Amino acid sequence: MNISILDDVHHVFGTLPSYAKLAGHQVMIWHDHTEDVDVLAERLQGAEVLALHRDRTPITAALVGRLPKLKLISMRGPYPHIDVAACTRHGILISSHQLDPQADPSWSTAELTLTLLLMSLRELPQQIESMKVGRWQSGVGRGVYGRTLGIYAYGRIGSTVARYGRTLGMQVQVWGRGASLERARADGYAVAASRQAFFSECDAISLHLPMIAATRGVVTEADLLLMKPTAVIINTSRAGLIAPNALVNALKAGRPGKAAVDVYEKEPLTDANHPLLSMPNVICTPHIGGVELDALEVMFSDVYEQIVAYAAGKPIDVMNPEALKA
């Protein structure tokens, strides 16, 4: 089969052990990122299979309609970036391994979240930069022991971060939908008394919601202004969870006092004048939560297995079985 793999900006997908599963197929790996429909349509004219790196590239009706040979889109996790109805009309199967909170913990994103928490509270970037210019000890940071860690959405990643926080001696509070709160209670974590209490009482809040229509802008400027001036908010999920301009405005107002973000409304973020990059109380990383070799191997092992199964006439992880009829 003719397979195209998108968004391998680090040139690693073809070096993973699982890549051997595609032996015998024609594979084209694209090492840049583009959302230009014209560019994508030209590149993918001969593609029978698209292998996606999460939701990096939108697969729209306009694009699908220009890919006459496409038969399968393979990926792992949620797929809000794919026009499922358009794919189904064109007979294109969507295979996506759906993640189980117990069986598929996201260690890589959880580890980055913990790293950002510690770096922010201990003010490590400032301490490091201080030494580079010949100064010794720049200010005094805060530890995490005994402080309250807020987990907004107790799912696959949030539950892992909660365990990390508990191990470090933090008091963990959870907020989210009913099912999320029930899972947290079952695992022995406290549930915030209210949304207002959650934002006002936590010393650190980490967002772990999926990015869907219902969660866009779910964290408002009013929510952020409830936070302590010593608190930090961490977002390794999706930028759209926070209402537009709310984070910058709240940080300028001093509540919360700090932020650590790995995600942005427009990616890749290459504008050095972006307001978050100029704030000394903000740590920014370039959406690397899931960009770690072991995590990528697990992800693409599933993706490649879907392609092999389809080629054998036994598709797996099918999200739109109606496409088989088309």
Token pair belonging to 198: 């959650």
What's the CA gap between 44 and 66, in Å, rounded? 9
> Catalytic: which of 147, 183, 255, 287?
287
Q: Tens digits of per-residue pLDDT, 32-64?
A: 999 999 999 999 999 999 999 988 899 999 999
Q: What is the pLDDT of residues 300-309, one digit of tens each?
A: 999 999 999 9
| Per-residue burial over 246-267, b = 16 or more CB atoms within 10 Å of its CB, e = otherwise | bbbebbeeebbbbbbbbbbeee
The answer to whether residues 98 and 146 touch, using CB atoms and an 8 Å cutoff, is no
Q: What is the tens place of the pLDDT at every residue in 145-154? A: 999 999 999 9
Q: Roughly what angle, to the nearest 10 degrees, separates helices 156-167 and 178-186? A: 40
* Predicted local distance difference test score (pLDDT) of residue 101: 60
Closest C-alpha among 201, 204, 274 to residue 239: 274
Contact 93, 323 (CB under 8 A): yes
What local confidence, expressed as pLDDT, does residue 162 receive?
Answer: 98
DSSP run (H or E) holding 27: strand 26-29
Using N-to-C axis directions, what is the helix angle for 107-121 and 293-311, rounded to 10°? 160
Among 267, 292, 297, 322, the one annotated catalytic: 267
* AA letter at 134: G
- Active-site residue, from 156, 208, 238, 255: 238
> According to the model, what pLDDT value does residue 102 have?
58
Whether the per-residue pLDDT at 100 is higher than 80: the answer is no
pLDDT at position 92, please?
Answer: 98
The answer to whether 22 and 70 are in contact (CB under 8 A) is no
Name, in order, each residue with C-beta under 8 angstroms of 8's C-beta and a sequence gap of 6 or more. 14, 29, 30, 31, 53
Is 107-284 in the same CATH topology as 2-100+292-325? yes
The residues, any chain, with a CB within 8 Å of residue 269's CB and separated by 6 or more, are 284, 286
pLDDT for residue 99 is more than 90? no
Residue 287 known to be catalytic: yes
Which sequence spans correspond to the domains of the chain?
Answer: 2-100+292-325, 107-284
Q: What is the pLDDT of residue 106?
A: 77
Confirm if 48 and 68 have CB atoms less than 8 A apart. Answer: no
- Dmax (CA) for the chain in angstroms is 69
The string of pLDDT tens digits covering residues 231-259 is 999 999 999 999 999 999 999 999 999 99
Range 2-100+292-325 classified under CATH 3.90.180.10: no
* Model confidence band, residue 105 (pLDDT cutoffs 50, 70, 90): low
Is the domain covering 107-284 a CATH 3.40.50.720 domain? yes
- Chain-centroid distance, C-alpha 64: 24
**Among candidate residues 56, 175, 160, 168, the one with its CA nearest the CA of residue 112:** 160
Q: What are the helix (H) ranges across 56-121? A: 61-64, 84-89, 107-121
219 closest CA partner among 201, 231, 234? 234
What's residue 325's pLDDT?
83
Residue 43 has a pLDDT of 97
Q: What is the rounded average pLDDT for all residues in the chain?
A: 95
